Amino acid sequence: MRLLRSHLLLLLLASSAAGSLLRTVPEEPSTISSGGGGGGGGDALYCDSWRLSVETNDAGPWTRIPARCIAFVDEYMNGERYASDSEVIAGEALAFAEAVEVAGDGKDVWVFDVDETLLSNLPYYAANGYGSQDFNETSFDEWVYLSKAPALSASLKLYTELQALGFHMVLLTGRAEVQRNATEQNLLFAGYGSWTQLILRIIKEGLAFVHRLDQLFFLLSQFSGICQRAEIRVKHGGL
Ligand SMILES: *[C@@H]1O[C@H](CO)[C@@H](O)[C@H](O)[C@H]1NC(C)=O
Ligand SMILES: *[C@@H]1O[C@H](CO)[C@@H](O)[C@H](O)[C@H]1NC(C)=O
């Protein structure tokens, strides 16, 4: 059996939950009726199917959640389900981490996304229609500069457990470099600490965001040959 000395895992809770759900968007098919049980039961069925289509990336690019799904998203995010989904995924990640032989030489790194992974922007989205409105970068940035986003609790627990196992934390985010201070303050406010590196986006060209992948790859090149894998994961992560 060959064991890699270094390990990279992009924990992309964001792409399976709130990140995609709240930041991006498809046209609303009108073929599923909204009949059914009380409290918009038909909507709940439709919205659950829509969520699956987003998570499997079948929905393609989208910009707003369907209006009929606002209550569904509210209930998903604030009820037990989102916390439970997060805990299950974090538990699976931890099981993987525990199976890794950490060398203790500082070369075992774990890469976390920030928004909707370490930090939850749910308070912002709750005040802005749960993603049913077009994403407003100005008001979202105002929220970012408050540095008051709470931790996603399953992630904070996982983060702490990974550190106890000996992993070093690398944080990779689509937030801009000018938001470094606000992001660091927010991470500390939420209970995170002792990360090895926080990598932010530095160049904005029209609508295309260029991320500081060179920095990530430089960092990873100091570890073993996993850049190829990192590149693939990063691309899939849509960062
Ligand atoms: C976006 O947010 C800013 C700041 O809160 C606000 O002034 C502006 O009107 C918003 N834009 C839209 C299109 O709602
Ligand atoms: C970030 O914080 C540092 C240290 O507190 C400060 O020197 C620097 O001016 C801040 N940068 C921005 C862009 O606010």
- The single-letter DSSP state of residue 95 is H
**220 occurs within a structural domain:** yes
φ, ψ of residue 170 to 5 degrees: the values are -120, 125
Nearest to 97 by CA among 85, 111, 83, 84: 111
Q: Which residues of the chain have pLDDT under 70?
A: 1-41, 203-239
Report which protein residue has its CA nearest ligand 2's atom 4.
Answer: 181
**103 occurs within a structural domain:** yes
> What count of Cα atoms within 13 Å lies in the side-chain half-sphere of residue 125?
29
**154 occurs within a structural domain:** yes
Gap from CA of 192 to ligand 2 centroid (Å): 19
pLDDT on residue 194? 97
pLDDT on residue 220? 55
Give the position of tokens 């932010």: 200
Domain count of the fold of the chain: 1
- CA 70, CA 164: separation in Å to the nearest integer? 39
**116 occurs within a structural domain:** yes
Domain CATH number, residue 194: 3.40.50.1000
Q: Give the structural domain span for 210.
A: 2-16+86-224
**136 pocket-lining for ligand 1 (C-beta < 6 Å):** yes
**139 pocket-lining for ligand 1 (C-beta < 6 Å):** yes
Ligand nearest to the CA of 179: 2
Report which protein residue has its CA nearest ligand 2's atom 3.
Answer: 181
**55 occurs within a structural domain:** no
pLDDT on residue 104? 80
pLDDT on residue 13? 32
**58 occurs within a structural domain:** no
**100 occurs within a structural domain:** yes
Q: Which amino acid is at 51?
A: R
Give the position of tokens 């989208």: 62
